[in-house]
Amino acid sequence: MTPARAPELCTGDRLLVTRLDYLGDVVLSLPLVDALRARWPGLEVDYLSRRPATDLLSRDPRLTRVWTQSDGVRATASLVSSLRTRSYRAVIDLYSNPRSAWLSWSTGARVRVGGNRRGRRHLYTHPIVVPRDVRRVTDVFMRYGVPLGLDATRPAPKPSLSIQPDEAAAADALLAHHLGGAAAGDARKRIGVHPGGKWSVKRWPAEKFVDLIRILENELDAEVVVFTGPEECQATERVRSQTTARTAFLEVLPIRTVAAVISRLDAMIACDGGVMHVAAAVGTPTVGIFGSSEPEVWFPYAGAGPYRAAYIDVECRPCHRHECPLGHTRCLNELTADAVARNLRDALAQAKGSR
């Protein structure tokens, strides 16, 4: 289904992009932001989401304003009032759930693009249906720009995030502190590891990460830096309890600090999730560990550089569930540390060859 064409945007118009939930999805929407700004130079693009995504975008020069959606009647009323002062010409809602649909409508924008879902499709002026053969999430998001005149026939480019010089310098100092003085340019590889994951079908077992860290330290002679998130300390502690003092464990860091630190590493290994997408977006060679979901959909980096998806084929995947319906999670439990390490070696070799 081809969405109806909206009135043409003009230089100086303001447009709001919103994706309320999921850090990784916000990162994956950034090619759409780039395409909008390239199509209409001078267009002011704002972004509406929740934390930590809005913290990640807070210093992004592509965005004029970043709005944070918080719970509560008073906070919501204040947000709506602020959004209306921007006099948006258009809103693109990439989440299209009841709350985001209502917020999009509340802006008063003349053009509101969102998904063709149930009753809330009536809150959009241009509800769209993405063709079934469009599967990569970055390409799906680009389709939301079609009513505004974007050409979405070409594959979307890789998302990108820029790190400011002061953030990079602070990240170097943090790494030097945790790695005993090792700095950028040291001969030993600095490999980041993130053992967390929002859902059980995205969390590779802690003992697998322990095996991987041993391979990285003993066979690659790498300095390993382990990241953790606000609700992931338990998983990180299980890894810490089985590793040596050589492994560096970082405290819970703000998301932009996480991005800056990852940008200073030689490679990053993370479970399918927000940190994995951040790592690829800052340009660090990345290995994503996949369970129930499809790399063809959620890892749009193959062929774009030193990025690899580590997974195994079992008869029940992809199921796209948050919990294993069969109770065995073989898609993760049978993925070996050696297999992940092979993917890392491939990514590092490609990164070295491209220099």
User: 181 falls in which pLDDT band (50, 70, 90)?
Assistant: low
Euclidean distance between CA atoms 354 and 350, whole angstroms: 6
Structural domains for the chain: 14-148 (3.40.50.2000), 165-353 (3.40.50.2000)
> Angle 350-351-355 (CA atoms, 0-180°, nearest 5)?
115
Question: What is the pLDDT of the chain when averaged over all its residues?
Answer: 91
Specify the 3-state DSSP secondary structure of 91. Answer: strand
In this prediction, residue 3 carries a pLDDT of 55
Flag whether pLDDT at 280 surpasses 70.
yes
Average pLDDT rounded to a whole number, residues 266-295: 95
Higher-confidence residue of 202 and 2: namely: 202
Higher-confidence residue of 1 and 274: namely: 274
User: 203 falls in which pLDDT band (50, 70, 90)?
Assistant: confident
Euclidean distance between CA atoms 61 and 57, whole angstroms: 9
User: 309 falls in which pLDDT band (50, 70, 90)?
Assistant: very high
Higher-confidence residue of 145 and 324: namely: 145
User: 303 falls in which pLDDT band (50, 70, 90)?
Assistant: confident
Mutual angle of helices 206-218 and 233-240, in 10-degree steps: 50
Flag whether pLDDT at 185 surpasses 70.
no
Euclidean distance between CA atoms 199 and 322, whole angstroms: 5
Question: What residue type is assigned to position 126 of the chain?
Answer: H
Before 325, cis peptide (omega within 30)? no
% of the chain residues with pLDDT over 90: 75
In this prediction, residue 330 carries a pLDDT of 85
| Complete edge-to-edge strand list for the sheet that includes strand 267-271 | 248-249, 223-226, 190-194, 267-271, 286-289, 307-310
286 is written with which tokens?
A: 């990345």
Euclidean distance between CA atoms 267 and 190, whole angstroms: 7
Q: Are 260 and 192 in contact (CB under 8 A)?
A: no
4 is written with which tokens?
A: 């109806």
Cβ-proximal residues to 72 (8 Å cutoff; 6+ apart), any chain: none
Euclidean distance between CA atoms 215 and 191, whole angstroms: 12
Higher-confidence residue of 119 and 85: namely: 85
Helix, strand counts (H, E) of the chain:
14, 12
The residue written with tokens 């975008």 in the block is: 57
In this prediction, residue 2 carries a pLDDT of 53
